[in-house]
Chain A
């Protein structure tokens, strides 16, 4: 679930609507442990809204605290080689696919290129460093970009391979105010990963 096409007008309309929306498939999770798919668990410090898995994008869960336009935390659980994290109805569109032998920078490129194919503008990795994902050797990365409307966004995430499969946690929000607002909470979540 990625929203890069939102216009400023829609952006503010959605801010106004968020309080009114309710959906049965969304559950409140936290504060405390939240299981993601079959492979790992994270722990939140606050209450988040959790959306169900989306098989089309191989997303195990999407969570948000203020609405997916204002911040989105997505989880992929064990992506298999040849799979993709974006969906296109255009069967002829060529999209980035995950491969088991990708290097760390290739893994991050795979994630950001996928988002770019989906509408992230000016996506750029700004930091990449080794960091544990539970007990796995993983990588932490930061990135910047923009919604197509021009609104700038910042993001951070963590990836790790378990055998041939890839786990991804990725968070992004508008750079102005909203990213900083949830940065500490998200850092805490990224640090809390434990394998099931």
Chain B
């Protein structure tokens, strides 16, 4: 399937949609027992579900023009194709996948079929199978209409804050931006334990039926728990205990064990790594840089070391690990950084900046001549470098 940024129509007049959302408040209790949504079905305008779709359509429309959406065609085609493998051809037409440039491991599924896959997730998946499992899990939320259930439960319990969140998103929380709106809506897809369990089970079935390696399902969650334990952020480390690693879909040991048990009963299969690497590799450096803007050095180091063990793109990875040490500035980090810049320089895929930073690190260590050689190599490798004039001033301080 091609990625479809199909325009979302304002299917329902605002007043009608809000009326539908509001009307359920008048009923004493609405049934939360809803059957799965059919493929290519859209809810009736005058229902609460129609209202929810209206609100999410509105958020989706803003997302479509947002600067945080990654529009690279090859990457979008690939992720959408994987999504379609797990949903099957019919439901495939109901989902619209958006790759969102955010350095966190996250994916979300809106009730209208807007699926977000954050780049922090793509950075951490080791193969197509792990990505496919998360997409299958998200799709299960859509198919089982978990948002509608969540909404009706909140309504029945008169959960004013959820109702307000959705209302705020509906009003177009302009200044809060697309992510602010999405965060308000996340209340709609922060699901119950039962919903998470159901999505784990169904997502697993979809992903196995699509031919993916069963053992990879649990591995994603296992990795996340391990990374969070290494985080420099106290809150993130605590989240391991609180089991909320994957923000909108809390990961618990029980869930991991459930997936492990299901996989153990099936033939292992072989994870698909090649195609995944081919399409994500061009983004590796960019995503790693974005990850580093979080300044969570513990987490970044754990991630980078894991990727180094996998053994691909080593020039990019050693350069990046050096960058983590350079920014962390703990005792001995200057030496660690310099050693990694030097290691990276032996790989063909090391980016040109590796030599600039290596020059800076050598200069810091008092090795002026070696620094100049590194800087000169940088300018050879990147003749149009944005900081060419600066580097030339290092090479020739008297300014010829």
Contacts and interface: CB of A to CB of B under 8 A. Distances in A.
Contacts of B68: 121, 148
B179 A9 contact: no
Contacts of A101: 364
Contacts of B234: 92
B178 A149 contact: yes
Interface in A129-184: 129-130, 139, 142, 146-152
21 contacts: A7-B62, A8-B65, A10-B175, A13-B174, A92-B234, A93-B233, A94-B233, A94-B294, A94-B295, A94-B296, A96-B293, A96-B295, A105-B390, A128-B390, A129-B390, A130-B389, A148-B67, A148-B68, A149-B177, A151-B67, A152-B67
A196 B176 CA distance: 40
A128 B237 CA distance: 38
B387 interface: yes
Contact of B172 (A9, A104, A139): A9
A104 B235 CA distance: 33
Given A106-B326, A121-B101, A149-B67, 8 more contacts: A92-B235, A94-B233, A103-B364, A106-B360, A129-B390, A129-B393, A142-B386, A150-B67
A5 interface: yes
Interface residues of B, number: 33
Interface stretch (A28-36, A39-47, A56-64, A112-120): A112-120
Nearest to B290: A116
B295 A121 contact: no
A130 B356 CA distance: 16
Interface residues of B: mostly helix, strand, loop or mixed?
A: helix
Contacts of A99: 329
B295 A104 contact: no
B387 A128 contact: yes
B66 A116 contact: no
B180 interface: yes
A150 B65 contact: yes
A126 B68 CA distance: 20
A95 interface: yes
Contacts of B159: none
Contact of A105 (B67, B290, B296, B387): B387
Interface in A68-98: 92-96
B232 interface: yes
B120 to A, nearest CB: 14
Nearest to B329: A99
Contacts of A113: 293
Contacts of B387: 104-105, 125, 127-129
Contacts, number: 92
A37 to B, nearest CB: 26
A195 B293 CA distance: 32
A122 interface: yes
A96 B233 CA distance: 14
Contacts of A127: 386-387
Contacts of B235: 92
Given A105-B390, A117-B293, A92 B233 contact: yes
A105 B232 contact: no
Contacts of B232: 94
A6 interface: yes
B177 A139 contact: no
Interface in B201-245: 232-235
Contact of A130 (B326, B360, B390): B390
A56 to B, nearest CB: 18
A148 B179 contact: yes
Contacts of B296: 94
B62 A147 contact: no
Nearest to B385: A128
Contacts of B179: 148
Nearest to A93: B233
Contacts of A149: 62, 65-67, 177-178
Contacts of A6: 174-175, 177
Contacts of A93: 233
Interface in B338-394: 356, 360, 364, 386-387, 389-390, 393
B178 A148 contact: yes
A152 B175 CA distance: 16
- Shortest beta-carbon contacts, A-B, top 5: A146-B67, A5-B177, A129-B389, A128-B387, A94-B295
A69 B316 CA distance: 37
Contact of B360 (A103, A116, A125): A103
Nearest to A10: B174
Nearest to A105: B387
